[in-house]
Amino acid sequence: MKSANLHNVPYKICIIAHSRIRLKPSFQIRTTETGSLQPDQSSLIIDAGEKHFNFAVLSRESNEYVALEYYQFRDKHKEEELRELLSSHTLLQLDYRDITVFYNNASGLLIPERFYDQDTSDRMLELVAGDVHTAMPFFDEVPELNLRNVYAIPVHLHEMMVAQFPQASYEHVHTGLLKKNSILDRKDDRIEVVFYPEQIIISVWLHGRLQILQCFTYETPDDITWYLLDICKQWNVDTADIPVLVSGLVEPYSALYSSIDRYFKVVQTEVRPEAFNYDIAFDRYPDHFFSPLFSLGLCVS
């Protein structure tokens, strides 16, 4: 099994003057101020899933997010669309100060450090995720919680990412979310729900400790309701007492949001991390839309 942070290959710089991407972004936000986007003084933060690809540019000089784009792939064309995006997008060709890729897929296990064993973990991962022979196993250390995050990434996805970003650091988005919570040092009881198209990440925190962090796919709002109520039943959580913190691509008053609001007394949307500044272009959108991606910046040194 490989650690996801070991890729020391000389970085190739290829600057393309104009983007030729046919794939249209769901969101495309960039600063309008000349000189604000300076790659050699910026971090590129990527959230890469099998059906989506999001990235943000964080200026280290001003500690400000200056660009963000969000793409969704079609099932039948996801490999082709990702390959085109990586090879053609101007902002993905620049020589950044540092690049961090957070893989975002459901195949993963959180194992206490004292119980971690590579052979056993591989077998456990296969039991949970199915046949992982067409995927590459990795692990991330989460020393703040004494955990190992063990997961499998589709071979095509990892190979394309490493070919494009050979000097990047690689982790799972679950690792980033756990590190974020440790950095913020939150002790309150809560359920966190992060929305992606057709996918949610649910975590439950009780008495300052993580109880569960898991990714679920959904088709209807009722699916989300079932997942949350079932988790509350398993952990003996009263829906009238525990707050739910919602983030990601979900509109307030939508059917998806209402699926939570209907059963929980306190439902809040997550704010953007106060540790960063944000270009005025982001003010056109609700804070919680991109707070999961912004929060990953807390984990990037």
Q: Is the pLDDT of residue 210 over 90?
A: yes
Residues 26 and 99 in one domain: yes
Residues 42 and 62 in one domain: yes
Name the one residue in this structure whose structure tokens are 């990795």: 138
pLDDT, position 34: 65
Average pLDDT, stretch 154-158? 89
Average pLDDT, stretch 4-14? 37
Residues 256 and 190 in one domain: yes
Residues 262 and 278 in one domain: no
Please, are residues 219 and 255 in contact by the beta-carbon 8 Å criterion?
Answer: no
pLDDT, position 17: 36
Residues 100 and 190 in one domain: no
Cα(160)–Cα(44) distance, integer angstroms: 17
Q: Is the pLDDT of residue 32 over 70?
A: yes
Q: Is residue 93 part of a domain?
A: yes
Q: Is residue 172 part of a domain?
A: no
Cα(106)–Cα(142) distance, integer angstroms: 18
Q: Is the pLDDT of residue 18 over 50?
A: no
Q: Is residue 21 part of a domain?
A: yes
Q: Is the pLDDT of residue 263 over 90?
A: yes
Q: What is the pLDDT of residues 166-175, one digit of tens each?
A: 999 999 999 9
Residue 224, domain CATH: 3.30.420.260
Residue 98, domain CATH: 3.30.420
Q: What is the pLDDT of residues 77-134, one digit of tens each?
A: 888 999 999 999 999 999 999 999 999 987 788 999 888 887 777 777 777 666 556 7
Q: What total number of domains does the chain contain? A: 2
- Structure token pair of residue 102: 């957070």
Name the one residue in this structure whose structure tokens are 């972004």: 25
Cα(193)–Cα(63) distance, integer angstroms: 27
Counts for the chain of helices (H) and strands (E), in that order: 7, 16
Name the phi and psi angles at 176, rounded to 5. -60, -40
Percent with pLDDT over 70 in the chain: 91
Of 7 and 276, more confident: 276
Residues 279 and 265 in one domain: no
Residues 246 and 196 in one domain: yes
Q: Is the pLDDT of residue 42 over 80?
A: yes
Q: Is the pLDDT of residue 4 over 90?
A: no
Q: Is residue 133 part of a domain?
A: no
Q: Is residue 168 part of a domain?
A: no
Cα(275)–Cα(5) distance, integer angstroms: 25
List the end-to-end C-alpha distance of the chain, in Å, as a whole number.
25
pLDDT, position 251: 94
Residues 31 and 89 in one domain: yes
pLDDT, position 135: 79
Residues 245 and 286 in one domain: no
Q: Is residue 89 part of a domain?
A: yes
Domain assignment of residue 206, given as a range? 186-269
Q: Is residue 238 part of a domain?
A: yes
What's the DSSP call for residue 272? Answer: P
Nearest CA to 247 among 287, 298, 276? 287
Residues 215 and 287 in one domain: no
Q: Is the pLDDT of residue 147 over 90?
A: yes
pLDDT, position 12: 33
Residues 192 and 256 in one domain: yes
Whole-number mean pLDDT of the chain? 88
Q: Is residue 142 part of a domain?
A: no
Name the phi and psi angles at 35, rounded to 5. 90, -5
Residues 196 and 242 in one domain: yes
pLDDT, position 6: 39
pLDDT band at 9 (very low <50, low <70, confident <90, very high): very low
Taking the model in full, what pTM does it have?
Answer: 0.89
Average pLDDT, stretch 125-146? 79
